[in-house]
A and B are shown apart, each in its own frame.
Chain A
Amino acid sequence: MKASPAYRLFRVVALTVVVLSLIAPLLWMIAASFKTNVDIYDTGKALVFSPTLDNYANVLKQSHYAQFIGNSLWVAFAATVLSLILGVPAAYSMSRFSMKKSALVVLMARVIPGVSLLVPWYYVFSNLQMVGGFTVLILSHMFVSLPLIVYIMMGFFDGLPEELEEAALVDGLTHIGAFRRITLPLSVPGIATAGILSFIFSWNNFMFALVLSGANTKTLPVAIFDFVGYASIDWGGLMAAATVVTLPIMVIALFVQKYVVSGLTAGATKG
């Protein structure tokens, strides 16, 4: 059935409002990152201003952001790869052998408040003098990545017909061989989805790094706070820093939109 012209007009108006209210604040942030602090304070120069790159120069040069970008990349990358190595085979077993209880234990991690693990972690790792190092940070981010990956991959393996593996067994492959040569190659889209989601969530994670990172291992979401002083805020620098953190992830999400959406909605519509 064709939508009526009145409904179509309503839809255009309503969705324009939706899109504007979602995008305008982000554009405002990006615009402010190109303004001097004088221009930010001058409400008359909200839209018309002479753009400057000073904030970015400040963020990248004086505030060691290059290092923090590197830290964030390394932690998100390592946590994602390690979680994939642990999570993909586990999800396969849980899906094929319907290990409901084990799956439930892993998925509980999505429910537990992060702080309740941070306290004991902090106890153990500060006694081992590991707080401030990359190892702890990567382990803590795996707490976010691993359950996410197991959850997404379990859904993926559930949808992968078992007959393919059985055919491979008939052809003389072992079970593990069938997993390696048949199942894994067919799972690349699922692994991509899980990996991308895990990377985004690790990149965006703030609380673990707030407690467990040190001056040299700080990740970007923690480094943002360098621009918030007790007395005053360097708004230009803060918005440039916020843009540096969030723009890359938004651009990546644009290119792999399909995977991000399927990862975020994984399991939402099945039994």
Chain B
Amino acid sequence: MATVTNPRRAPGGAGVMPDTPGWARWANDHRKWLFATPAMAFVAALIVIPLGWTVWLSLTDAEGSVRAESEFIGFRNYLDVLSDTDRFWPAVGRTASFTLVALAFEVVLGMAVALLLWRPFKGQKWVRVAILMPLVATPVAVGMMWRLIFDPNIGLANQVLGWVGIGPQPWLAGQHSALPTTIFIDVWQWTPMVVLILLAGLTSLSEEPQEAARIDGASTWQRFRHVTLPLLMPTVIVAILLRGIDALKTFDILYATKGKGGGSFHEVETLNVYAYGLSFDYNEYGVSSTVLILFFLIIIGSMWALTARRKEAKR
């Protein structure tokens, strides 16, 4: 990453070792764990143990007050949740379609924009600045912004449609258009992420295969399809991996645009929104923990599949 030219010499370095006190020497010998333990302890206390507790809660009937007694009920929650075609499975479906559709758009658009930005040109700096803006904007604020733009009565979106003679759309307010609209918002905010990752990948590719293909008379499309894309594939998969994990866990824009429970018909209720509602609107901690464990397994499963693909692509 960093290139180092002129390392700073430590002042008065010579002869430190012999007269260092015992504790310093001990620290020096055990630096590996001395450095790593505080962070690992934090992770254990705030992540590993709570996660274990969530697993435990998923096997109990915990609900109501956090001080209430709860009983071990085995896998009953799992049976209940997995047979729940009313809320759970629709939420799984929405999570899957939200993630897959958003990812597809983000990767295709992201690839197109990254290719446009690949070779230097005048004004490239400004395009990069514009690309960065949605990425750092606060997701809740972004949700509110689109809520105004997509408002059926006063929003800019319907106004623009009106200019080209298309009638007003319900957007976020429609039972069937809400999820696609939130996907649009996700694509708007996160395609830039894919652009940046792919651009970093493109910039690190060596020029020789490109040159060789050009000399062999390959067309632009052939060069992309048979040279650039295969070389870039590991980076593409990283982009899918990073973006996919976050898309699965999308919460902020869904909550900001549709509120609790993903709207009155649960139109945008994904697994994350569902689990949140179960926990903090209904205090059904046992059931919500079950949903979360299943959700977690889905995430790990898809990650594992993608990582396997990446190893293949690198070969």
Interface residues of A (CB under 8 A from B): 1, 3, 8, 11, 14-15, 18-19, 21-23, 25-26, 28-29, 32, 40-41, 43, 46, 86-87, 89-90, 92-94, 96-97, 99, 102, 105-106, 108-124, 126-127, 139, 142-143, 146, 150, 155-156, 158-161, 164, 167-168, 171-179, 181-182, 185-186, 189-190, 200, 203-204, 206-207, 210-211, 220-221, 224, 228, 233, 235, 238-239, 241-243, 245-246, 249-250, 253-254, 257, 260-262, 264-265, 267-269, 271
Please indicate the chain A residues that have their CB under 8 angstroms from the CB of B138 in the complex. Answer: 203-204, 206, 220-221, 242, 245-246, 249
Q: Evaluate whether A181 and B36 lie within 8 angstroms (CB atoms) in the complex, with A206-B140, A242-B145 already known.
A: no
**Cα–Cα, bound, A200→B249 (Å):** 18
Q: Is the interface of A mostly helix, strand, loop or mixed?
A: helix
Give Cα distance in the complex from A102 to B77, angstroms. Answer: 32
B242 at the interface (CB under 8 A from A): yes
B7 and A117 within 8 A (CB): no
CA–CA, A108 and B47, complex, Å: 9
9 closest cross-chain pairs (CB), A and B: A90-B39, A159-B1, A89-B35, A120-B50, A242-B141, A93-B35, A116-B292, A171-B13, A120-B53
Q: Complex formed: what's the CA distance from A200 to B43 in Å?
A: 21
In the bound complex, do residue B36 and residue A119 qualify as a contact, i.e. CB atoms below 8 Å apart?
A: no
Interface centre among B42, B149, B289 (most CB of A within 10 A): B42
A115 and B50 form a contact (CB under 8 A): no
Which residues in A have their C-beta under 8 angstroms from that of B31?
Answer: 93, 175-176, 179
A253 and B214 CA atoms in complex are apart in Å by 38
User: Which residue of the partner chain B has the closest CB to A125?
Assistant: B66
The answer to whether B79 has its CB under 8 Å from any CB of chain A is: no
Residues in A whose Cβ lies below 8 Å from that of B159: 43, 46
B35 and A43 form a contact (CB under 8 A) = no
Task: Give the docked Cα–Cα distance between A268 and B237 (Å).
Answer: 9
Chain A residues lying within 8 Å of B141, measured Cβ to Cβ, are 29, 221, 224, 241-243, 245-246
Q: Are B1 and A190 in contact (CB under 8 A)?
A: yes
B108 within 8 A of A: no
* CB-based contact A113/B127 at 8 Å: no
Cα-based distance from A43 to B153 in the complex (angstroms): 9
Of all chain B residues, the one with the shortest Cβ separation from A178 is: B10
Residue contact B39 to A172, C-beta cutoff 8 Å: no
B200 touches A189 (CB 8 A): no
Chain B interface SS verdict (over half):
helix
Are B116 and A11 in contact, with the CB atoms below 8 A?
yes
- The distance in angstroms between the C-alpha atoms of A142 and B46, with both chains bound, is 10
Q: Told that A119-B57, A243-B141 touch, could you supply 13 new A-B pairs with CB distance under 8 A? A: A15-B116, A22-B130, A22-B134, A99-B32, A113-B296, A115-B251, A118-B276, A127-B66, A179-B31, A186-B2, A221-B252, A228-B144, A239-B148
Picked from A19, A105, A126, A271, the residue with its CB within 8 Å of the CB of B40 is A105
A25-B149, A90-B35, A122-B66 known; A171 vs B9 contact (CB < 8 Å): yes
| B99 interface residue (CB < 8 Å to A) | no
Instruction: Kindly provide the distance from the CB of A86 to the nearest chain B CB, expressed in whole angstroms.
Output: 4
Q: Which residues of B contact A87 (CB under 8 A)?
A: 39
A238 to chain B, nearest CB (A): 6
CB distance from A2 to the nearest CB of B (A): 10
- Min CB distance A174 to B, Å, is 5
Residues of A within 8 A of B199 (CB): 265
CB pair A123 B192 closer than 8 Å? no
Is the Cβ of A176 less than 8 Å from the Cβ of B130?
no
Evaluate contact between A113 and B275: CB separation under 8 angstroms. yes
Q: Which residues of B contact A211 (CB under 8 A)?
A: 280
Inter-chain contacts of A161 with B (CB < 8 A): 4
Residues of A within 8 A of B131 (CB): 18, 22
A112 touches B27 (CB 8 A): no
CB distance from B12 to the nearest CB of A (A): 9
Which of B15-23, B86-94, B173-181, B261-269 binds A? B15-23
Let me know if B315 is at the binding interface, CB within 8 A: no
Contacting residues, chain B, for A93 (C-beta < 8 A): 31-33, 35-36
| Cα distance, A117 to B259, chains bound together (Å) | 21
Whether A18 lies near B275 (C-beta < 8 A) is no
